[in-house]
Amino acid sequence: MPRGGDSTHFGFRQVPLEDKQVLVDDVFHSVARRYDLMNDLMSGGLHRAWKDVLVNTVNPPTKSTRPFSVLDLAGGTGDIAFRVVEAGGPATRVTVADINPEMLAVGRARAVERGLDDAIVFTEANAEALPFPDRSFDAVTISFGIRNVPRIPAALVEVHRVLKLGGRFLCLEFSTADLPGFAALYDLYSFNVIPALGRVVAGDAESYRYLVESIRRFPRPEIFADMMRAAGFARVSFQQMTGGVVALHSGWRL
């Protein structure tokens, strides 16, 4: 376990907390252009259904002319942003904040290809120190990214700060499979098949081994819900999907 608050686990290795961001950056530098393809292969396409649940829960207004502003954290490739803009009306706008410039470059190019660059802004930013004013956004989302933030409590406080009163935070993240037989099968698949896919498709087995290991280190849903409450969120809840493999966490700024 981390000692004295100055170290953390990177996968199953213990490293100084200040070094974790560098290691996470290295992972995503190497996999940026194959990231969405690998998501399809790793989840059998299920990540699309999970993200649909997230976007449906955001529920961007389709007819209102009042601006609806969403911040998507760690969403550099634009996957969630595109879905939110396409689901919402003409007043829906998304700001994508990601610490990784390679991921952002992929997202910007895709936004231009889709003709959505007028509705989406891509910003290089650290989730622990967001460069946005207080009460700026109607909703904040993060999809499979919170576990890679070195100081999660600091990021949660920042999310709460930039939300408008009445705004909602939605966090989609991997969790721990609860069904005994399924959990064993899931571990076998995760630790053997996913790194092999990473080696073949992205030329990087080690990065995907880290991604699998980081899932196992992420707090259980009940513990993460307590972390959200400690950051100031109200009406905190979570919804588990696919046998507990994924959880959608929700909290409001009230």
Domain boundaries, the chain: 7-252
Of 145, 105, 138, 111, which is closest to residue 123 (Cα–Cα)? Answer: 105
CA–CA separation, 13 vs 210, rounded Å?
9
Tokens encoding 128 = 């622990």
**Is the model's pLDDT at 23 over the cut of 50?**
no
Q: What is the pLDDT of residue 187?
A: 67
- Phi and psi of 48, rounded to 5°? -65, -45
Q: Give the max Cα distance, the chain.
A: 52
**Is the model's pLDDT at 117 over the cut of 70?**
yes
pTM tops 0.85: no
User: Which band of pLDDT confidence, cut at 50, 70 and 90, is reported for residue 230?
Assistant: very high
CA–CA separation, 90 vs 31, rounded Å?
33
- DSSP assignment of the chain equals --STTSEEEETTEEEEHHHHHHHHHHHHHHHGGGHHHHHHHHHTTHHHHHHHHHHHHH---SS--S-EEEEEET-TT-HHHHHHHHHS-TTEEEEEEES-HHHHHHHHHHHHHHT-TTTEEEEE--TTS--S-TT-EEEEEEES-GGG-S-HHHHHHHHHHHEEEEEEEEEEEE----SHHHHHHHHHIIIIIHHHHIIIIIS-HHHHHHHHHHHHHSPPHHHHHHHHHHTT-EEEEEEEETTTTEEEEEEE--
Beta carbons of 219 and 227 less than 8 angstroms apart: yes
Average pLDDT on 24-40 reads 57
**Is the model's pLDDT at 3 over the cut of 60?**
no
Tokens encoding 193 = 């098949």
**Is the model's pLDDT at 171 over the cut of 50?**
yes
Could you read off the pLDDT of 119-168 as tens digits, one per residue? Answer: 999 999 999 999 999 999 999 999 989 988 989 999 999 999 999 999 99
Beta carbons of 161 and 140 less than 8 angstroms apart: no
Average pLDDT on 75-86 reads 94
Q: Which of 15-29, 78-92, 115-129 bottoms out in mean pLDDT, i.e. has the lowest?
A: 15-29
CATH of domain 7-252: 3.40.50.150
Of 154, 134, 8, 7, which is closest to residue 71 (Cα–Cα)? Answer: 134
CA distances from 192 to 35, 42, 54, 150 (A): 18, 11, 29, 26
